[in-house]
Amino acid sequence: MYVLRAWYDSHEPATGWGAALRDPAVTAALRAIHQHPATPWTVQSLAARAGLSRAAFAQRFASKVGAPPLAYLTWWRMTTAARLLRDTDLPLRAVAERTGYATEFAFAKAFKREFGTAPGRYRSEPGQLFSA
C-alpha cells in the first residue's frame, strides 16, 4: 500500500476524481451535490459551501472536475434519475422531485435531452444502455 500511495502522490492528476478529491473546496461542493441533488444549487451557494468566491470556485471546480459546477449538477441529477427509474417503481413525479425538478414536464424534457428518450420509455426498455 505504501508503494501505491507514494506512486499516486507523485503522479497527481490534473483533473478527474483524484484531483477533485484532493481539493477540500471542490470536495465540499461535490459532497453537497451528491447528498442533496434536489437542492436548487447555484454557483453562488456551492461556492459558499466551498468557502470561495463564485468566480474562484467556478474556475477551480471546472479545472479539477473537468466540467462547470452546474453542468456537473445536471449530470449527477440525470444519473440519479436513471438509477431511480431502473431500480424503483417511484412515479415520475417522485423521481422529478428527488432530482431537483419542480414538475414532471421539466424533468422529462431534461431527461430526454440527456438520454434521447422519455423517462417512461427508459424505464420500460430493460435492454437500453445506461449512458449518463
Residues 6+ apart with CB under 8 A from 96: 81, 102, 103, 104, 106, 107, 108
Give the cell for residue 17: 476524481
Q: Are 111 and 122 in contact (CB under 8 A)?
A: yes
What is the amino acid identity at position 79? T
Q: Are 86 and 123 in contact (CB under 8 A)?
A: yes
pLDDT band at 123 (very low <50, low <70, confident <90, very high): very high
4-8, 97-101, 117-121: segment of lowest average pLDDT: 4-8
What is the tens place of the pLDDT at every residue in 41-95? 999 999 999 999 999 999 999 999 999 999 999 999 999 999 999 999 999 999 9
Whether the full predicted model's pTM is greater than 0.85, yes or no, is: no
> Which pLDDT does position 33 carry in this prediction?
97
d(CA 72, CA 62): 9
Q: Are 99 and 117 in contact (CB under 8 A)?
A: no
Q: Are 106 and 112 in contact (CB under 8 A)?
A: no
Q: Are 52 and 105 in contact (CB under 8 A)?
A: no
